[in-house]
Amino acid sequence: MTVRGEQQLRQELERLMKRRPIITQAIAEARELGDLKENAEYHAAREEQGICEAQIRDIEYKLSVAQVIDIAKMPNNGKVIFGSTVSLIDCNTDDEVTYQIVGDDEADIKKNLISINSPIARGLIGKEEGDEVSITVPGGVKEFEIDSVKYV
């Protein structure tokens, strides 16, 4: 994962950890209302607690096994690698698009962050500035020219 991806996960973990005591308090208040079998507030709070705990475990696991790559500290040799920002020119339409290749959890196509496991990223990895690549995407085969590769 990228450094930004790690920071986002740590922020989410911190938010969830702050949420824990609030949920515990909600459970305690709901318990005081009486019969737990028919207590909707209690069941809702318990469900929220389960979801929160599952998310905490998931993030902690991801952070424990993640390999964080700081692309900015690597020398730029013009080759497309994980974390690099790639400007592409569509050979058919001359449209330009820029993507950063990131981990699965960081991917957000609206922000032009594509997963390392996406067809476009797999087709670009290892290529260099100036190369023309044909990539099979769900809509067919796209041809791109790699305009620039940045390590930011």
Q: Are 141 and 134 in contact (CB under 8 A)?
A: yes
> CATH classification of 79-150 is 3.10.50.30, yes or no?
yes
pLDDT at 38: 75
* Tens digits of residue pLDDT in 110-145: 999 999 999 999 999 999 888 899 988 888 888 999
* CA dist 5 → 38, 58, 65 (Å): 42, 15, 13
CB atoms within 10 A of CB 27: 17
CATH 1.10.287.180 fits 3-65, yes or no: yes
Query: Please, are residues 143 and 90 in contact by the beta-carbon 8 Å criterion?
Result: yes
Query: Could you tell me the residue ranges of all domains in the chain?
Result: 3-65, 79-150
CA distances from 70 to 3, 27, 113 (A): 6, 42, 16
Q: Is the dihedral of CA 125, 130, 135, 138 positive or negative?
A: positive
Give yes or no for residue 36 having a pLDDT over 80.
no
Question: Residue 94's pLDDT is what?
Answer: 83
Q: How confident is the model at residue 39 (pLDDT cuts 50, 70, 90)?
A: confident
